[in-house]
Amino acid sequence: MKRTPEPYLWLLFSGGGVVAALVLPVLVLLFGVLMPLGVVDWPTAEHLRALVDHALVRLALLVVVVLCLFHAAHRIRFTSEELLGIARFDLVIAVICYGGAIAGGVMAARLMS
């Protein structure tokens, strides 16, 4: 019996969905609504720099970015195959989608170092 990476891709998809549902709305609320309206004060550059200098914060941000990228890649893969009727190119689409997610994750890791 041949093993496929499909269960791991679904795991990354679901993890990205959880992160997208729980973390991103909080960030949008803070940085997109409350801070511009003046309800919450903007953090100072020194405070943000000190926060991002911590290794665990950088790791958490990297995990959020990578999981969201894999979630998007999985959605794009299956939606494009279904809506456009191009399921016969599944391998090519999977390589493009997940390759883009991996490239984005590598780029995010390089930017955070």
Return averaged pLDDT per consecutive 10 residues of the chain, 113 residues in all.
87 92 92 95 93 93 93 93 90 94 96 87
Q: Given CA atoms 17, 19, 20, 21 in this order, what sign does their dihedral have?
A: positive
The CATH number assigned to the domain with range 6-112 reads 1.20.1300.10
Per-residue pLDDT, 74: 92
**Tokens 């969905």 label which residue?**
17
Say what the alpha-carbon torsion angle 45, 47, 53, 54 is, to the nearest 10 degrees.
Answer: -160
Start-to-end Cα distance in the chain: 41
The predicted structure's pLDDT at residue 5: 86
**What tokens does 92 get?**
């090519």
State residue 105's pLDDT score. Answer: 96
Look at residue 30 in the predicted model and tell me its pLDDT.
94
